[in-house]
Amino acid sequence: MLDDLKLINDRDKEDALGVAQKQWQQLSYRFDADISFTNIENVVVSGMGGSALPAVFLRSWPELNVPLEIVRDYDIPKYVNQKTLFISCSYSGNTEETLTALSKAETKQAKIVIVSAGGKLSDLAKAKDYPLYIIPSGIQPRMSSFYFLAAYCQILEACQLIDNDSTNKLRATAEWLKDQHNDLLQTVPTSTNPAKKLALELAGKSVVIYSGPKLFP
């Protein structure tokens, strides 16, 4: 079954395997955006669902030199002010909670950055000249996590809130992932494919995964 490419293609209508094989490209993606904020005392990332998920990575790596809070709601922290870096993120760009939180951050004169694949959020960024990090569209938001992580790192590094070698580390990890995936492709037979062997071992079992903070090989 795992070596039946026709069956795999029939079941994988949205090409999830193809997206997974290209995850390394997301980590090395270079955004065409310019940002130069200074005097930042805290960071707030506002988003929902798959758009907020990548911000959780920031709690483990890279280490910020200011406090970070993730907001998944209409409201924002009371401490938000002109020294807050407010990153508003929504893959669709039309998430109601995120748009509402952004309007509240504007009233607090926060330093605003937009991360989105389009929609109203991108339109607002262009209309108000906010720094805009455009996520490539066409895949599920949860499959875009590494695009968001790359954007966050480029934003935070530009604002001197993380180690200035962080984006280079992401790109080095991307190259490592690129080298690893050749042995895991669906075209590689089960007899020599570690991923397929693991899938067979896990079939019919409940899987619990423990993960530590180490991101890089």
* pLDDT value at residue 217: 46
**Structure tokens, 46:** 């506002």
Residue by residue, pLDDT tens for the chain (217 residues) are: 788 888 888 888 888 888 888 899 999 999 999 898 999 999 999 999 888 888 998 888 888 999 999 999 999 999 999 999 999 999 999 999 999 999 999 999 999 999 999 999 999 999 999 999 999 988 888 889 999 999 999 999 999 999 989 999 999 999 998 888 888 888 899 999 998 999 999 999 998 887 665 544 4
Distance, CA of 90 to CA of 77 (rounded, Å): 19
Classify residue 14 by its DSSP letter.
T
Residue 209: how many other CB atoms lie within 10 Å:
4
pTM over 0.85: yes
The strands making up 111-116's β-sheet, listed across from edge to edge, are 68-71, 42-46, 84-90, 111-116, 132-134
Neighbours of 206 (CB within 10 A): 5
